[in-house]
Structure 1
Amino acid sequence: MARRIALLGMPNTGKSTLFNRLTGASARTGNWPGLTVELSAAQLPLGSDLVELVDLPGIYDLHGMTEDEHVVRRFLERVSVDVLVVVLNAAQIDRQLPLLLQARALGLPMLAVLNMRDEAERFGVTIDVDRLGESLGFPVLAVSARRAEGMGRLRQAMAAALREARPVPLAELAERLAPEEVVQEEAEALLRVAVKAPHQLSDRMSERLDRILLHRIWGLPIFFLSLFLLFQFIFTLGAPLQDAVEWALGLLRDGLQATLADVLPAFGQGLLFEGIYDGLATVASFLPVIALFFIVMSAVEDSGYLARAAFLVDGFMARLGLDGRGFVLHLFGMGCNVPAVMGTRVMRSPGLRALTMLVLPFSLCAARLQVFLFFVAVLFAPNQAAIVLFSLYLLSLLAAMLTAWLFKRRYNVVEPVILELPPYRLPVPGTMFRTAGGEIAHFLRRATRFIVLGVVAIWLLTHLPWGVQPAGPESYAGRLGQMVAGVFAPLGFDPLLALALLFGFVAKEVVLGGLAVLYGVGEEGLGAAVQGHMDAVQAMSFMLFTLLYTPCVSTLAAIRAESRSWRLTFTSVLWSLSLAYTVSLAFYQTARWMGF
């Protein structure tokens, strides 16, 4: 039977960062309370033992009634734990000692880890670690997980505690906990004995920055400007990197195709290269932008600024049934909806998570943006392009707000939101790159199979039955286009545009490639083909529908996996389709009625 060590602590103690340092795993880290909402576990070698290290949700009190506290109590009561490691923020030890004393009452073998010791020193907090350990009756260690300081000593202490550990059943956990006033008195006694701290902690840098960044008038404009500059940086740097990846993949494709030209029949080559290989290349070509996105956002999270952004908009979002974290995730969705949906793990309330997941797919992601930039450049004058793009971004926000307002009564929110504002910190490069690596691996596991399957399906639809003209009226794709033509005709879409939208259900990146296949032209001839098949009104209707209609398969898979609800997944599909059809229909018919 595997031995088990559990990490326990309050939010914002760096517990998940410590978990990652010890195990090399990719549990997400950040500055929001309750960020670690799943029971993340990883294997940790300690001497001759291979231990399961479990990262428990951050809690404030073992007596408490929040969902996080219920999860922790259920875990401690039902799961055998050999050693309990309690992680504290050394700079806030006066607030965190009561939880440590509650945990000691459980009778489990224990360690206490005073994390963020560098911040404690900056604030003038001095802790006599040895004396505190003597008073508590178990080892206390000071570390800095962000800077990887003290990890070796911690591993040794955990191994030593494990050798002496004897699992203790905790079926009656509540009966072991002392009254709160008794715990508080003991905590104050420990503070007098082992801790020296100024009467009031002062972080002048954070205070000065907050006077600007949290200003009631200028705070939000500064935040939006900062995000705009960050996105500009991501796409400015990511575009040439993406081109380089595409160039390398193209060379590899040519080499493989030449090698296999005499081995595979034409049909097999088409399926392998135009289907499977191009599907993988589609995913791979976006990795530079996705990697940059996660690195930059990890830096912003680690700095403490995103917690302040959530604070700035929390009041307005509450009127829609959401909170400030949902707004920040909506901004994350501008890179890709999949990681934004995954980010709803910061929320413990099922209703809040469900409502946020319904809202997030309306965020204008990078894949949709590529489609819009193409159509705007081809069919609109330069002085109209900025207006068109701005209107699409504005509509995405309005669609999200409408969705939240309509569904907030169905998905009741019962989660009290406590937003702590951590001190500003300089991001640690190692943390940024580890976070990006973990998120990219997670994205690939979710997205690759769906995009590959989608591209293969498109190729088969356009090339079967045997002997028909690719994407011609006798192909399966042509027949399917005729079947749905009547549904989309009122929106101004011909059968080919309708088929491109069906392909876009797999991944919005497929829309332009699908049009190129359907029009029988290469990418260089797609612009002229589009100009010959539609005007500006049809293009705008097409973009409105693309913006609002059903999320891509990867996003739907993320919604299903994170919510564990087919009902919510189908609701997302039906609602977005209904809204897209209504908006496009109203726009197209009104524009034609007005003579455009």
Structure 2
Amino acid sequence: MTASTRTGAIISAHQNTIKRIGFIGQPNTGKSTFFNRITNAGAGVANWPGLTVDLLQATIEIHGHQVEFVDLPGIYDLDGFTEDERVVQKFLEEFAIDLIVVVINATQIDRQIRMPLQVKSLGLPAVVVLNMADEAKRYGVQIDCVELSDRLESPVYTISAKYGTGCAVAINGITRTIEEQPHTYQVQGLVEHLESAPVTEEYMESILEGAVQMPSVTSVTFTNRLDKWLLHPIWGLPIFFFVMFLVFWFLWSIGIPTADPVDAATGWFQERILEPVISPFPTELQDFIINGPWNGFATVLSFVPLVALFFVAMSALEDSGYLSRSAYLMDSLMSRVGLDGRGFVLQMMGFGCNVPAIMGTRVMRSRAMRLLSMLIIPLALCSARLQVFVFILAAIFPNQGGAVALFALYVISFLVAFVVAGILSLSGQFKSRDPFVLELPPYRLPTIKQVLLNVWGEMKQFVSKVTVFMIIGASLIWILTALPPGAEGLDTLAGQLGKFFSPIMDPIGINPFLTVSLIFGFVAKEVQLAGLAVIYGLSNDALGIKLSQDLTFAQGFSYCLFSLLYIPCLTTLSTIWGESKSLKFTIFSVVFSLGTAWVVSFIFYQGANLFS
């Protein structure tokens, strides 16, 4: 290993058979969108030893050579001290790299030029990609790429990752640059060097002067005009909640009918293919296959289109730039309970899945705020719970009232999170003064292709996780309902297990069979539906009819409330453990969520019966 002659931090250089390119940039710059264009959305999640987070990685053959592309977490500063910033620092110090691709939002180049200057200071070979060039042009940002490239001593390309404009040129430039790199680099003493030679505001201005011309800060844009209403101190929040109501109304009105063709397809498959194939098997095995894994799988599968529509709606809201505004709107309210707007955004992220939302708490510098956020994020109405709620609410609300009830669950999840965060912050254990900084991107019209790519990525993870947990969970529940031999109903092991918890669950209106489904829901929330199908031994439609006959409104909604707030799934819990690095805190999160769920369900159920 020989020392490099490049200026900057101490850098070790050596030959490597597989070249590696790292992508860095601030959040919301379109870095991952450009990364997906290069890798054709074929990247997978890879574990890097010693890092606290898995990274997106793809290996592509370029001109006969293997090149590894790594998408690093979005950060604001290379010498920062948030968890994600430390991940990037550690990656550059411990893993060899041939080239850095720095992705910048061209409309905010005056604020984001710091990162390529830091990379230059470290002496790392880099390519600078100015994304959203179409927006920059529309807003009057003028950039002399040739002059800027000379000053940065790195190639500079303008692109629109969203529409693909300029991407081919930028990719070819990255390819040429990586082929010209004779060495692979590892930075030593990264933070120390950046602290000893900081990138000052004066230096940034000198780099931009004459090469970049920014529009007047007083110019009126479409974003400015729209924000006058959407960020209005009085009307902003009502508009936001109305938008969210429309999302849930859309899911209810469009999503529920999508289950019918899926039910028809699974019914045809069972009758025409599955049953004839397993007919030679013993009766007990046939019963296990049909009423165990298959019934559970068919029930969950019927809600896959609904979950896909959910991801479509959330991806469109996120890509439009509106979700960032929700953080700004909620900041003053969240600060009263020890959080800030980021806590609300992470709860919104938890709509898709609690796991990435909990991992997202790394952007918070304060450990106290991180831990408080980890406690309230699992209260979010995630996609796995969504299908459970839609199924139960459709049984007790056979009309459009179910859409209102679904939206009510969303509002309740936020209100409960707000109240419990306030109570916990009073203890002084979760107090923080971490400042809240947020870039508000301009409003954008989401492209169909990008939304579909996002949904495809989410659905791949969703279906793969559901399939594994569903088969295991449904099989275990069938065993509990089939033993001891000849037993039925409450006399089975499942019934006895449910009866064991009756003293606790009866006051909140949850019967023993529903209790068993909640127990298995701890493995994964999707298993709750599979569990109900197996426990009752009914298909999707028949199960809905049975529940509509057995459950009152108070019982059904209490079940939904408990499912909304109780123990997060096993994957979420393991993430909390990994992120908090505290078994004591993880156990506390379980007790906390169980207690919160029971209290809220008890208040609702007893109140509903009192006034019924």
TM-score bucket of the superposed structures, by smaller chain:
0.7 to 0.9
Using structure 2 for the length normalisation, give the TM-score: 0.82
Percent of counterpart pairs with the same letter? Answer: 42
Partner of 1:573: 590
Equivalent residues, number: 580
Separation in structure 1 between the aligned mates of residue 26 and residue 525 of structure 2, nearest angstrom: 41
Distance 1:176 1:306 in 2: 36
Query: 1:426, CA displacement in angstroms?
Result: 1.2
In the alignment, residue 390 of structure 2 is paired with which amino acid? Q
Q: Which amino acid aligns with 2:296?
A: G
Look up the SS of the partner of 1:366 in the other structure: helix
Residue type of the partner of 2:422?
A: W
Question: Residue 390 of structure 2 corresponds to which residue in structure 1?
Answer: 370
> RMSD value over aligned CA atoms?
3.7
Q: 1:129 maps to which residue?
A: 145
Equivalent position to 1:456, from 454, 475, 478: 475
The secondary structure found in structure 2 opposite 1:264 is coil
Select 2:357's aligned residue among 339, 343, 354: 343
Deviation at 1:82, TM superposition (A): 0.9
The answer to whether the Cα contact below 8 Å between 2:346 and 2:361 also exists between their aligned partners in 1 is no
Cα distance in 2, alignment partners of residues 398 and 345 from structure 1: 23
Match of 2:372 in 1: 355
Question: 1:4 aligned to 2:23?
Answer: no
Kindly state the Cα deviation for residue 283 of structure 1 after the two structures are TM-superposed: 3.1
1:302-340 CA distance string (max 9 Å, x none) = 11111111100111112223322333444565x56xx14
Provide the C-alpha distance between the structure 2 equivalents of 1:188 and 1:587, rounded to a whole number of angstroms. Answer: 59
1:556 deviates by 4.2
In structure 2, the partner of 1:417 is 436
2:277 match: 260
User: Mean Cα displacement is larger for which, 97-106 or 308-317?
Assistant: 97-106
Contact 1:146 1:428 in 2 (8 A): yes
Question: Relative to structure 1, is the Cα distance of residues 304 and 453 closer, same or farther in structure 2, using a 3 angstrom cutoff?
Answer: same
Per-residue CA distance 1:138-165 (angstroms, 9 max, x = gap):
3222211111122222222222222222
SS of equivalent to 1:105: helix
Change (3 A) 1:266 1:321: farther
Q: In the TM superposition, what is the alpha-carbon distance from 1:124 to its structure 2 partner?
A: 1.7
Residues 21 and 70 of structure 2 are in contact (CA less than 8 Å); yes or no, is this contact kept in structure 1?
Answer: yes
- Matches of 2:225 and 2:39 in 1, distance apart? 37
Alignment of 1:506-525 (within 5 A): 506=523
Gaps of 5+ in 2: 1-16, 45-51
- Does residue 44 in structure 1 map to residue 63 in structure 2? no
Using the TM superposition, name which of 442-451 and 363-372 deviates more: 363-372
TM-score (norm 1): 0.84
Equivalent residue, structure 2, for 1:158: 174
Given that residues 349 and 356 in structure 2 are in contact (C-alpha distance below 8 angstroms), is that contact kept between their aligned partners in structure 1? Answer: no
278-287 or 59-68: which moved more? 59-68
- 1:376-422, Cα deviation, whole Å (9 max, x unpaired): 449xxx99999987876654444322332344444555754311111
Cα distance in 2 between the residues matched to 1:323 and 1:223: 17
What is the match of residue 344 of structure 2? 327
Summarize deviations over 1:225-282 as a string: whole Å, max 9, x none.
1111122123322222222112211211212233224322111112222212223223
Distance across 2 between alignment mates of 1:581 and 1:118: 52
Q: Given residue 305 of structure 2, which amino acid in structure 1 is its aligned partner?
A: P
The AA in structure 1 aligned to 2:466 is A
Q: Which moved more, 1:313-322 or 1:37-46?
A: 37-46
Q: What per-residue deviation string (whole Å, max 9, x for no partner) do you get for residues 440-466 of structure 1?
A: 112223333222211111111111233
| Residues 138-195 of structure 1 deviation map (CA, whole Å, 9 limit, x = unaligned) | 3222211111122222222222222222224421335654977875444433333423
1:150 to 1:367, Cα distance in 2 relative to 1, 3 A: same
CA distance in 1, matches of 2:230, 2:496: 57
Q: Whole-Å Cα distance in 2 between the matches of residues 260 and 308 of structure 1?
A: 55
**1:526 Cα offset (Å):** 6.2
Q: Is the 8 A contact 1:37 1:347 kept in 2?
A: no
CA–CA distance in structure 1, aligned partners of residues 437 and 36 of structure 2: 25
Contact 1:450–1:553 (8 Å) recurs in 2: no
Provide the rounded CA distance (Å) in 2 between the counterparts of 1:297 and 1:386: 17
Tell me the equivalent position of 1:427. 446
Report the 3-state secondary structure (helix = DSSP H, G, I; strand = E; otherwise coil) of the residue aligned with 1:18: helix
Distance 2:404 2:448 in 1: 38
Gaps of 5+ in 1: 29-35
2:98 alignment partner, one of 62, 82, 91: 82
Contact conserved, 1:454 with 1:503, CA < 8 A, in 2? yes
Shift of 1:71: 3.1
- Work out the CA distance in 2 between the residues paired with 1:136 and 1:557: 43
Alignment of 1:69-148 (within 5 A): 69-148=85-164
Question: Could you say if the C-alpha distance between residues 27 and 574 of structure 1 is closer, same or farther in structure 2, counting changes exceeding 3 Å?
Answer: farther
In the superposition, relative to structure 1, how do residues 208 and 511 fare at CA in structure 2: closer, same or farther (>3 Å)? Answer: same
Give the letter aligned to residue 471 of structure 1.
Answer: G
How big is each residue's C-alpha offset from its partner over 1:475-496, in whole Å with a ceiling of 9 and x where there is no partner?
Answer: 3223334433444455555544
- Which range moved further: 137-146 or 216-225? 137-146
Cα distance in 2, alignment partners of residues 560 and 205 from structure 1: 44
Q: Secondary structure at the match of 2:127?
A: strand
Q: What letter matches 1:103 in structure 2? A: V
Distance 1:559 1:260, change over 3 A: farther
Q: Within 1, Cα distance between the matches of 2:571 and 2:368?
A: 22
User: Partner of 2:301 in structure 1?
Assistant: 284
Aligned to 1:32: none
CA-to-aligned-CA distance 1:355-387 (integer Å, 9 cap, x gap) = 333223334542442365256449xxx999999
Distance 2:595 2:400 in 1: 32
Residue 184 of structure 2 aligns to a residue in which SS? coil
Q: Report Cα offsets for 1:8-67 as digits up to 9, x if no partner.
A: 333332222211211234889xxxxxxx98643332332222222222333344344444
Q: Distance in 1 between matches of 2:139 and 2:132?
A: 11
How far apart, in 1, do the equivalents of 2:107 and 2:608 lie?
61
Q: Secondary structure at the match of 1:426?
A: coil
- Report the Cα distance in structure 2 between the residues aligned to 1:301 and 1:261, rounded to whole angstroms: 46
Moved more, 218-227 or 73-82: 73-82
Match of 1:483 in 2: 500
Greater Cα offset, 535-544 or 304-313: 535-544
Q: CA deviation at 1:2?
A: 2.8
